[in-house]
């Protein structure tokens, strides 16, 4: 079945372009002109990915991204005219999988959409190094389920990670107790090369995994070298 994409865009020309391009590449699309239409559409259907414009007439796009990340299990791509670094970092912090600024190249956007969907469908990044499909990874009192991107602690608290967070965590889980240079992490074809995106995702993971995110013991920064995931990991 084709992946279903909700386009949340109030500019008719941009919405029409997105709708046409994505349908030409085989995606099933629905266009919502504002946040209210999106919420109504979510009552009757579940998207695989939402493309969100930040400049909506009835809601702040950042608030909508946060709402979707918290309540719905779907990929999130921000498409906006806001090119400020602060907005880019905030969007990724709130759970977006990618951030694209207007004007955009349609074929590049399709490639980014495919990358998000590939990660969420359980692509190669969700496999341990011995290529067996894992049921779950156990580490430091946590259990990670790569099939659903869910992370559960010993206190039964559960998080649903964004596909970008899950991909990064899998990278660490596959290479525990080894220093990974930023180039090794950023060089993964399924991780966005956007400036600071890796740092943002590491920060988000630390807030979930660490007792004190300001003094991390699990995801450690090795200054001048990269990052080290300091835990034994068991795949079961």
Q: What is the CATH number of the domain that holds 93?
A: 3.40.50.2300
Question: Where does a domain end: 92, 120, 148?
Answer: 120
Question: Where does a domain end: 59, 93, 120?
Answer: 120
- Regarding whether 149 and 106 lie in a shared domain, the answer is no
- Regarding whether 182 and 136 lie in a shared domain, the answer is yes
Tokens of 55: 């400049």
pLDDT per residue rounded down to tens, the chain (236 residues): 579 999 999 999 999 999 999 998 989 999 999 999 999 999 988 899 999 999 999 999 999 999 998 888 899 999 999 999 889 989 988 889 999 999 999 989 999 999 898 887 754 333 333 434 446 899 999 999 988 889 999 888 888 888 778 888 988 888 888 888 776 676 555 555 455 677 888 999 999 999 898 999 999 998 878 889 999 988 87
- Regarding whether 154 and 128 lie in a shared domain, the answer is yes
- Regarding whether 224 and 145 lie in a shared domain, the answer is yes
- Regarding whether 13 and 111 lie in a shared domain, the answer is yes
Answer whether 4's CB lies under 8 Å from 27's CB.
yes
Give the C-alpha separation, 230 to 220, whole Å: 7
- Regarding whether 28 and 63 lie in a shared domain, the answer is yes
- Regarding whether 91 and 131 lie in a shared domain, the answer is no
Tokens of 47: 């998207």
Give the C-alpha separation, 167 to 186, whole Å: 11
At 123 the pLDDT is 47
- Regarding whether 8 and 113 lie in a shared domain, the answer is yes
Q: What is the CATH number of the domain that holds 137?
A: 1.10.10.10
- Domain span holding position 143: 124-235
- Regarding whether 192 and 104 lie in a shared domain, the answer is no
What's the total number of domains in the chain?
Answer: 2
| Other Cβ atoms closer than 10 A to 167 | 27
Give the C-alpha separation, 221 to 224, whole Å: 9
Terminal CA-to-CA distance of the chain, rounded, Å?
A: 30
- Regarding whether 151 and 90 lie in a shared domain, the answer is no
- Regarding whether 189 and 136 lie in a shared domain, the answer is yes
Give the C-alpha separation, 194 to 189, whole Å: 12
Question: Where does a domain end: 105, 120, 135?
Answer: 120
- Regarding whether 145 and 162 lie in a shared domain, the answer is yes
- Say what the pTM is: 0.61
């Amino acid at each position: 079945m084709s992946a279903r994409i909700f386009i949340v865009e109030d500019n008719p020309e941009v919405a029409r372009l997105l709708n046409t391009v994505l349908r030409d590449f085989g995606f099933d699309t629905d266009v919502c002109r504002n946040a209210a239409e999106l919420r109504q559409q979510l009552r009757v259907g579940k998207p695989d990915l939402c493309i969100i414009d930040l400049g909506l007439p009835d809601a702040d796009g950042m608030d909508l991204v946060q709402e979707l990340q918290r309540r719905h299990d779907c990929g999130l791509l921000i498409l906006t005219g806001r090119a400020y670094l602060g907005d880019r970092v905030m969007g990724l912090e709130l759970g977006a999988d990618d951030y694209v600024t207007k004007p955009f190249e349609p074929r590049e956007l399709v490639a980014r959409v495919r990358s998000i969907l590939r990660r969420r469908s359980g692509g190669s990044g969700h496999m341990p190094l011995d290529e067996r499909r894992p049921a779950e990874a156990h580490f430091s009192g946590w259990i990670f389920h790569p099939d659903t991107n869910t992370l559960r602690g010993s206190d039964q608290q559960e998080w649903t990670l964004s596909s970008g967070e899950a991909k990064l965590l899998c990278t660490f889980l596959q290479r525990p107790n080894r220093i990974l240079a930023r180039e090794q992490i950023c060089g993964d074809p399924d991780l966005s090369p956007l400036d600071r995106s890796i740092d943002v995702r590491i920060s988000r993971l630390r807030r979930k995994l660490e007792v004190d995110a300001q003094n991390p013991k699990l995801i450690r920064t090795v200054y001048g070298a990269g990052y080290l995931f300091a835990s034994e990991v068991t795949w079961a």
